[in-house]
Chains A and B, each alone.
Chain A
């Protein structure tokens, strides 16, 4: 009986360790999956069209990308966004940034965004449950969040992202 308890104890610890090995603790799962997109308010950036909550009501699948010009991984991600922008609608939210730097960024690396807005105080980012940059959301035709990608979209993530978008 004593050995049975020990066996149960050891195997449950082993199971939890095995499960733990497969979990990346730095990635916090989104609580907004299958939920309607949250409300938000952004500031206009230069002459670019302003991204507003109504844009997400359009009957199409769309991408919302949180980025900043001061965020190095966002620069790594940018070419992948450019590739996605040829087939899909992408909206951009620049977190705690400034118009001058964003203008330069989009001029230098290209503009993948159909519309864009500035979240100057980070409140809209909290509304979306964003905790790091970059983060990307895929929204379905009914304005529900299908998927959230934490960290930069790399070349090898594109196939997975495209599969979800279809």
Chain B
């Protein structure tokens, strides 16, 4: 029973929302489409990427990504286009800029502080 539950868990974790009619016949392009989809946040269900979201909006974006790939656009071009429409919010990895510096630097600052207090105590 335990083993079956583990198998079901791993099967479920692999389930994606990509529907059969969306999948590209070219497996290489389909793989790129899935990689792109994993980097884009669904703006409706905000904790999911567009590959795993059931929202209509995510489906539109998945179809657009595959359409642009079929037209010969590169991964960077597609992500850059969608970023230009929806801003940083659509990216799971926001770019490092002046206004996002706090987001990237705070964990490093806290780590440094943690090490500093830890080693100070030892001495």
Residues in chain A within 8 A of chain B (CB atoms): 2, 5, 9, 25-26, 28-32, 38, 96, 121-123, 125-129, 131-132
- How far apart are B10's CB and chain A's nearest CB, in angstroms? 31
Complex CA gap A121/B60 in Å reads 8
B74 at the interface (CB under 8 A from A): no
Asked if residues B44 and A132 are in contact (CB atoms below 8 Å), the reply is yes
- List 16 contacting pairs A-B, 8 Å CB cutoff, sorted by A: A31-B84, A31-B85, A31-B87, A32-B85, A96-B56, A121-B60, A123-B60, A123-B64, A127-B85, A128-B85, A129-B86, A131-B43, A131-B44, A132-B43, A132-B44, A132-B57
Q: Which listed residue (A9, A25, A96, A131) contacts B86, Cβ 8 A?
A: A131
B-side contacts of A125, CB under 8 Å: 60
Given A126-B85, A129-B85, A5:B60 Cβ within 8 A:
no
B-side contacts of A96, CB under 8 Å: 56
B-side contacts of A128, CB under 8 Å: 85
Q: Which listed residue (B43, B63, B64, B113) contacts A5, Cβ 8 A?
A: B113
B88's nearest neighbour on chain A, judged by CB, is A31
A-side contacts of B110, CB under 8 Å: 9
Given A28-B89, A31-B85, A31-B86, A126:B44 Cβ within 8 A:
no
A-side contacts of B17, CB under 8 Å: none
Q: How many pairs of A and B residues are in contact by the CB < 8 Å rule?
A: 47
Given A25-B46, A123-B64, A132-B44, A5:B117 Cβ within 8 A:
yes
Complex CA gap A9/B109 in Å reads 10
Complex CA gap A84/B56 in Å reads 30
- How far apart are B50's CB and chain A's nearest CB, in angstroms? 11
B29 at the interface (CB under 8 A from A): no
A26's nearest neighbour on chain B, judged by CB, is B46
B-side contacts of A5, CB under 8 Å: 113, 117
Asked if residues B57 and A131 are in contact (CB atoms below 8 Å), the reply is yes
B59's nearest neighbour on chain A, judged by CB, is A122
A5's nearest neighbour on chain B, judged by CB, is B113
Asked if residues B113 and A28 are in contact (CB atoms below 8 Å), the reply is no
B61 at the interface (CB under 8 A from A): yes
A129's nearest neighbour on chain B, judged by CB, is B85
Give 12 new A-B contacts, CB below 8 A, not counting A5-B113, A31-B87, A38-B85. Answer: A9-B110, A26-B46, A28-B87, A28-B89, A31-B84, A122-B56, A125-B60, A126-B61, A131-B43, A131-B86, A132-B43, A132-B44
